[in-house]
């Protein structure tokens, strides 16, 4: 038994193993050292318990490596998104443009004029700079940026509707997902929900009939992830805004996805834009920064300067405020909207641009690279915008369908998720289907490497 202990390698010998050195970059050298010690400790306990021989060097490396793979899974990791869903909430929604990443590095690395007026040499406003850009890109008279769209709605309700009534039509009482249910948000904000109309048909007279001295706000939402079809009637935003003005009440529209440009330019159905909501006369519009805007997580409120001024004075804003890194990334993303060709540098729009034929060319190259290892077919696929935009609109796309030799596509998907970078994609009809629209072309080589390893079992 003593000789078995002596056969165990030293910690340093294992630390020099390239397969383990690689983890130092993502997890830090201390984590690698701890995993090696744990693997050796485990081996010692086993020898002491059953008196067997020492495990091989390769077994110890595999044992430490398994611990490190597990540790990595608990941290944030890059993923190749083969689902074809562009704004995949579970996969981090919008990838950021290079300009935003550069701004994050430049501002995050050191100090900045976050709340300092360099001209006057005294305290300045955290929000002033980005407000100008939001105004320029949306055409709104004023704007405020908070942590996310849910926070934006909460701030509006807290400022205007605490203890008072908010009228919402029944066809818009939505659950967005991730625990965001409009009736619950209203309740938590201390507002009283007044539902009017029926699930399928709502008229302006329903809203009018519900007005009371205690009404604080008329609210409409983007029914972002479902569609009611058939025998339907709805209240137009323009009519709701006019009613609000007649009654002296502010109107709020929660747009959610928040398109600044017309998606019809990308061959998709029209999606209501922030500019259209403003043109309809809605007083306050809320939307996310990391959906159709294509920037960092943020909640943006645009609209009437007097109403936004009241929200700026609300102490709750302090708890919902954004940090310098978000402001830097958001400003850099918004600037792209003002530059000719700039929108194409926003990854979301760069991914929406290629035709199915162009994507098929990429899929064929992947097929050629993987062909010998599995049955690989180039397929036409159907993706989604996601993030609550255009729930019913398919984004026509292309990809590859992999049928592994052992017939177990589920196991292949599991190995692909376990690879680094992980590949996440659909399993359908016994095939692992990787949509290429949501994978940047520059990652094709890495995708091939991962899939080759995964196919080899
Ligand atoms: C996504 C969405 C929200 C929530 O936005 P977050 O930025 O995730 O807080 C709210 N309303 C609608 C209509 C949405 O689509």
E strand or H helix that includes residue 176: strand 175-177
Closest ligand 1 atom to the C-alpha of 299?
7
Give start-end residues of each CATH 3.40.640.10 domain in the chain. Answer: 98-345
Cα 256 to ligand 1 centroid, rounded to whole Å = 4
Q: Is there an atom of ligand 1 within 6 Å of 173 CB? A: no
Cis preceding-peptide flag for 421 (omega within 30 of 0): yes
Cα 199 to ligand 1 centroid, rounded to whole Å = 21
C-alpha span between 266 and 352 (Å, rounded) = 6
Closest ligand 1 atom to the C-alpha of 255?
13
pLDDT tens digit at each of 457 positions of the chain? 578 898 999 999 999 999 899 899 889 999 999 999 999 999 999 999 988 889 999 999 999 999 998 888 888 999 999 999 999 999 999 999 999 999 999 999 999 999 999 999 999 999 888 999 999 999 999 999 999 999 999 999 999 999 999 999 998 888 877 778 888 989 999 999 999 999 889 999 999 999 999 999 999 998 766 778 888 888 999 999 999 999 999 999 999 988 999 999 898 888 899 999 999 999 999 999 999 999 999 999 999 999 999 999 999 999 999 999 999 999 999 999 999 999 999 999 999 999 999 999 999 999 999 987 889 999 999 999 987 777 668 899 999 999 998 899 999 999 999 888 999 999 999 999 999 999 999 999 999 999 999 998 7
C-alpha span between 380 and 237 (Å, rounded) = 38
C-alpha span between 405 and 455 (Å, rounded) = 8
- What pLDDT was estimated at residue 46? 92
Task: Give the Cβ contact number of residue 202 at 10 Å.
Answer: 22
- What pLDDT was estimated at residue 457? 77
Q: How far is CA 34 from the centre of its chain?
A: 33
Give start-end residues of each CATH 3.90.1150.180 domain in the chain. Answer: 79-92+351-455
Answer CATH for 79-92+351-455 from 3.90.226.10, 3.90.1150.180, 3.40.630.30, 3.40.50.1370: 3.90.1150.180
Q: Is there an atom of ligand 1 within 6 Å of 288 CB? A: yes
- What pLDDT was estimated at residue 431? 97
Q: Is there an atom of ligand 1 within 6 Å of 257 CB? A: yes
Q: Specify the CATH number of the domain 98-345.
A: 3.40.640.10
Q: Is there an atom of ligand 1 within 6 Å of 397 CB? A: no
Cα 186 to ligand 1 centroid, rounded to whole Å = 14
C-alpha span between 387 and 177 (Å, rounded) = 10
Q: Which of 254, 85, 104 is nearest to 185 (CA)?
A: 254
- What pLDDT was estimated at residue 351? 97
Model-level pTM greater than 0.75? yes
Q: Is there an atom of ligand 1 within 6 Å of 388 CB? A: yes
Phi, psi of 440 (to 5 degrees): -60, 135
Q: Is there an atom of ligand 1 within 6 Å of 167 CB? A: no
Pocket test for ligand 1, best of 93, 145, 150, 285 (most atoms within 8 A of CB): 150
Q: Is there an atom of ligand 1 within 6 Å of 147 CB? A: no
Q: Is there an atom of ligand 1 within 6 Å of 299 CB? A: yes
């Amino acid at each position: 038994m003593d000789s078995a202990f002596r056969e165990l390698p030293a910690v340093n010998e294992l630390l020099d193993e390239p397969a383990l050195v690689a983890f130092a970059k993502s997890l830090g050298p201390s984590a690698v050292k701890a995993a090696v010690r744990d693997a050796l400790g485990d081996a010692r306990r086993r020898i002491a318990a059953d008196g067997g021989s020492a495990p091989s060097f390769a077994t110890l490396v595999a044992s430490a490596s398994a611990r490190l793979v597990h540790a990595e899974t608990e941290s944030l990791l890059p993923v190749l998104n083969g689902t074809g869903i562009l704004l995949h909430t579970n996969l981090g929604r919008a990838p950021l443009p290079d300009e935003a990443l550069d701004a994050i590095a430049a501002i995050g690395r050191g100090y900045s004029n976050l709340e300092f007026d360099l001209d006057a040499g005294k305290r300045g406003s955290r929000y002033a700079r980005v407000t100008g850009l939001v105004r320029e890109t949306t055409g709104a008279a004023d704007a405020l940026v908070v942590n996310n769209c849910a926070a934006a709605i909460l701030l509006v309700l807290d400022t205007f509707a605490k203890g008072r009534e908010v009228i919402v039509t029944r066809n818009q009482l939505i659950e967005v997902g991730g625990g965001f249910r409009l009736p619950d948000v209203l309740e938590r904000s201390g507002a009283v929900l007044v539902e009017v109309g029926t699930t399928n048909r709502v008229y302006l007279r329903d809203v009018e009939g519900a007005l009371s001295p205690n009404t604080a706000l008329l609210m409409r939402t983007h029914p972002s992830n479902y569609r009611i079809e058939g025998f339907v009637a709805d209240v137009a935003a323009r009519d709701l805004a006019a009613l609000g003005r007649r009654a002296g009440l502010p109107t709020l529209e929660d747009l959610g996805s928040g398109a600044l440009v017309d998606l019809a330019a990308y061959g998709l159905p029209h999606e209501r834009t922030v500019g259209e909501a403003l043109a309809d006369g809605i007083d306050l519009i809320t939307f996310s920064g990391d959906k159709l805007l294509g920037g960092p997580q943020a909640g943006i409120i645009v609209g009437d300067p007097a109403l936004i001024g009241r929200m700026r004075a609300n102490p709750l804003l302090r708890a919902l405020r954004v940090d310098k890194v978000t402001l830097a990334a958001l400003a850099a993303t918004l600037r792209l909207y003002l530059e000719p060709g700039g929108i194409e540098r926003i990854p979301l729009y760069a991914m929406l641009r290629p035709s199915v034929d162009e994507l098929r060319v990429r899929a064929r190259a992947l097929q050629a690279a993987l062909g010998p290892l599995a049955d690989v077919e180039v397929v036409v696929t159907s993706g989604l915008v996601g993030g609550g935009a255009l729930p019913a609109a398919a984004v026509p796309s292309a990809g590859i369908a992999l049928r592994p030799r052992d017939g177990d596509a589920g196991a292949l998907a599991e190995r692909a998720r376990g690879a680094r970078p992980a590949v996440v994609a659909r399993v359908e009809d016994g095939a692992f289907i990787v949509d290429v629209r949501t994978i940047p072309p520059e990652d094709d080589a890495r995708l091939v490497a991962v899939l080759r390893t995964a196919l080899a079992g």
